[in-house]
Amino acid sequence: MTETELREAMCRWGRSLFERNLSPGSSGNLSARIADGFLVTPTNSCLGFLEPGRLSRLDPDGRHLDGDPPTKELPLHMAFYAARPSCGGVVHLHSTFATALSCLSDLDPEDAVPPVTPYVVMRVGRVPLVPYTHPGSAEVVPHVLARAPRHAAMLLSNHGPVVAGTSFENAVFAAEELEETAKIVLLTRSMDVRPLSAERVAELEAMFRLR
């Protein structure tokens, strides 16, 4: 994909996420790796109205080169690229159900999203819970660096989901899958749920390597 195509794809997916109420207001931010750095959605931008020519372009060290200034949550994105050499894109949303899940006090911090369907295991993997830090804080970086080598997706406590993918589009798909799974988990929370067994999860993990 050329940089022009990638810029257009980021705007198209941004609009789609916004129109489906997955990134209300100016929340949520997107990034993608390019040959000589990164493209990132601008600070205070609405994902529904991104312009290809105004996306922030950064050098390989994350320094702003041109376009609008990047999202304040840039440290979160850069930590994924630093820890996962295969990372081609990062999607961070404040989508309702994954964010609601991130606010619950009784989650397993190592495995916050139960494997209720094979798709969350295949496309998202095991999701740890990252301790709360204020949005945009660089204090989130060591928490992400510690988890990202083994996990492509995380829930930020009381904040929302962040998902890395081998491509920008794969990151979007995984973020959508995480949101759908969070919805199922919350809808069935007071019911007698039968999650996939550890053996079935291991089988899927062996079949569908996320990296």
Looking at 73, 176, 179, 180, which residue is catalytic?
Answer: 73
- Nearest approach in angstroms of CB 73 to Zn ion is 5
Is 48 or 135 the residue whose CB approaches Zn ion more closely? 135
Is 30 or 83 the residue whose CB approaches Zn ion more closely? 30
- Nearest approach in angstroms of CB 62 to Zn ion is 17
- Nearest approach in angstroms of CB 118 to Zn ion is 29
How many degrees, rounded to 5, is the angle at CA 124 between CA 102 and CA 172? 90
- Nearest approach in angstroms of CB 201 to Zn ion is 29
Is 133 or 170 the residue whose CB approaches Zn ion more closely? 133
Q: By CB under 5 A, what part of segment 76-105 binds Zn ion?
A: none
Q: By CB under 5 A, what part of segment 146-205 binds Zn ion?
A: none
Is 55 or 201 the residue whose CB approaches Zn ion more closely? 55
What string of DSSP letters covers the chain?
--HHHHHHHHHHHHHHHHHTTSS-TT--EEEEEETTEEEEPBTT--GGG--GGGSEEE-TT--EEESSPBPTTHHHHHHHHHH-TT--EEEE---HHHHHHHT-TT--TT--S---SHHHHHHT---PEEPP--TT-TTHHHHHHHHTTT-SEEEETTTEEEEEESSHHHHHHHHHHHHHHHHHHHHTTTS---PPPHHHHHHHHHHS---
| CA 193 – CA 170 distance, rounded (Å) | 28
Is 30 or 121 the residue whose CB approaches Zn ion more closely? 30
Looking at 3, 8, 119, 205, which residue is catalytic?
Answer: 119
Active site residue 132: no
Q: By CB under 5 A, what part of segment 105-144 binds Zn ion?
A: 135
- Nearest approach in angstroms of CB 28 to Zn ion is 7
Positions annotated as catalytic residues are: 73, 119
Contacts with Zn ion by CB under 5 A lie at 135
